């Protein structure tokens, strides 16, 4: 990974934010939300943008219809 000295603390902060906002590290509750609402919830956490929210929803056990796109492809 590039920039590990930045990404590791950011990842820890994201995990803390999820636990503070939801009470646990499970994102299973997002399964009940429409895709746009679930993405908005994730993107409200500093450090999570459109690509990351789509990747989490698409490639996790949530299996939501979200397409991660690199910003340089917009």
Answer for the pair 43, 50: CB distance below 8 angstroms, yes or no.
yes
CATH of domain 4-73: 1.10.340.30
Helix ranges (H only) for the chain are 4-22, 35-43, 50-59
End-to-end alpha carbon distance in the chain = 23
Taking the C-alpha atoms of residue 16 and residue 74, their distance in angstroms, rounded to an integer, is 30
**For residue 73, what pLDDT is reported?**
61
Mean pLDDT of the chain: 91
pLDDT band at 22 (very low <50, low <70, confident <90, very high): very high
- This prediction has a pTM of 0.84
64 vs 1, residue with greater confidence: 64
Place of tokens 């910003």: 71
- Would you state the pLDDT for residue 11? 93
């Amino acid at each position: 990974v590039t920039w590990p000295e930045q990404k590791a603390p950011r990842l820890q902060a994201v995990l803390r934010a999820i636990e503070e906002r939801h009470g646990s590290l499970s994102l299973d509750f997002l399964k009940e939300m429409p895709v746009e609402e679930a993405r908005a919830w994730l993107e409200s956490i500093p450090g999570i943008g459109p690509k990351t929210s789509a990747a989490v929803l698409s490639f996790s056990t949530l299996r939501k219809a979200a397409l991660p796109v690199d910003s340089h492809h917009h």
